[in-house]
Structure 1
């Protein structure tokens, strides 16, 4: 029996991109269901998503009344998916920075957590300035060094989760957002003994819409890394008893 897949897509003011993204996902991963988690976008993204869902039974919409961060949106989307018994849950950006044609490669990889990585051979970024490249690379190195994690891309948000790994991270306890959310989720999965792997992806900076990056997101990640490190010994990758070695 094939595994059921849900792709979780948080949105806030993404009306320029959401239709294109949904159409491309339906072409590249026709068997998957999509969940658009809209944080009350004032530009009408939510209403646009409703129209997509009305015309396609594999598209769903979860409306949230306030914008309180990427992490909260993902937690809401993952919780929705786990309650409906999806076997695998994919997370990706709504701004077309993550290529829908890469989703099948994430689904094909044999791991409990598959990370679309910019920093393994074959991966990369497009349309980034020097400052952002240095910030991203440095942030990953900082987190990897302090936490002792054997992964290259700890801040990327293109991932595929098996439900057992998501259940183990204890979603109600997650309070982080942005970069720190990505780091904390991966850290918790590895601490629980699940297997993670990276597959190369090319991240293309958004063309339409406005970036959600802020200094607050960066500083939150810096502090969270130390809180995680001091909370328990460094993570290591050993197969969880419920997964294949």
Structure 2
């Protein structure tokens, strides 16, 4: 576990909301919230967007919110509609509640919470609209236990999307990032059409088309400790088709 960067004031006091979509993550959520709230970021809040998880994740989230009422909020969604829809709801709520910066991260502990202060500092010290915690820039790492087929799928997905969309990002499918609120408002969540994991690609594509600088910083990506991956065949098909839909829908979009 890395030591979080100690940011100077007023950077460390920034109003940062971390949006965490959940589906069957009851075993991971308490540890994630504990690590997030331990960060040296007094302005940090956590918003859990739960898709009516049958394993009781929603109830676990409510208990954590009751223990930390000023820092943890829960959005209960009616059912499993996909990662993209959960993020749209969660990010929209964070912006409405006054966040100046919005982070995205998985609930399975694959993304190191301790990297957030450094990512926030990188964002604040540049004019970038978003900073990505990247597996594929120099210094980035993948857990040695990450299965070979997942490595191959991730590498192929990045090459495939690079070829079709010409977005100059090494980790196009990354799910760990911090956005400026102004960049999110400029992109417009109403433009987003992805339901599944292709949400990440669509957001990067829209940000690029609108001229926002995207910064990548290295992280170590860990294998999940508990639970199962949510990657399904339907999700893979949507992700394969989405670049073609994005090119068609947003071909005239530019700054």
With the length of structure 2 as denominator, give the TM-score of the two structures.
0.88
Structure 2 Cα separation of the partners of residues 43 and 106 of structure 1: 32
Query: Partner residue of 2:37?
Result: 26
Structure 1 Cα separation of the partners of residues 179 and 119 of structure 2: 9
Contact 2:84 2:197 in 1 (8 A): no
Query: Partner residue of 1:203?
Result: 221
Change (3 A) 1:186 1:106: same
Structure 1 Cα separation of the partners of residues 204 and 20 of structure 2: 18
Query: Partner residue of 1:136?
Result: 154
Corresponding residue pairs, total: 237
Q: For residues 138-187 of structure 1, what are the alpha-carbon distances to aligned partners after superposition, in whole Å with 9 as ceiling and x for unaligned?
A: 11111112211111001110010001111122212322133311000111
Aligned-pair CA distance for 1:233:
5.2
Query: Partner residue of 1:63?
Result: 76
Structure 2 Cα separation of the partners of residues 215 and 234 of structure 1: 31
Query: Partner residue of 1:243?
Result: none
Query: Partner residue of 2:196?
Result: 178
Residue aligned with 2:172, SS: coil
Q: Structure 2 unaligned segments of length 5 or more: list them.
A: 1-9
Contact 1:148 1:235 in 2 (8 A): no
2:37 counterpart of 1:37: no
Contact 2:41 2:117 in 1 (8 A): no
Contact 2:133 2:174 in 1 (8 A): yes
Residue aligned with 1:178, SS: coil
Structure 2 Cα separation of the partners of residues 38 and 134 of structure 1: 29
Q: For residues 5-52 of structure 1, what are the alpha-carbon distances to aligned partners after superposition, in whole Å with 9 as ceiling and x for unaligned?
A: 000001111110100000001112442000011111111111111111
Q: Pairwise CA RMSD of aligned residues?
A: 1.7
> Where in structure 2 are the equivalents of 1:71-220 lying within 5 Å?
71-109=84-122, 110=126, 111-126=128-143, 127-220=145-238
Residue aligned with 2:20, SS: strand
Residue aligned with 2:38, SS: helix
Q: Structure 1 unaligned segments of length 5 or more: list them.
A: 241-245
Aligned-pair CA distance for 1:3:
2.5
Query: Partner residue of 1:229?
Result: 247
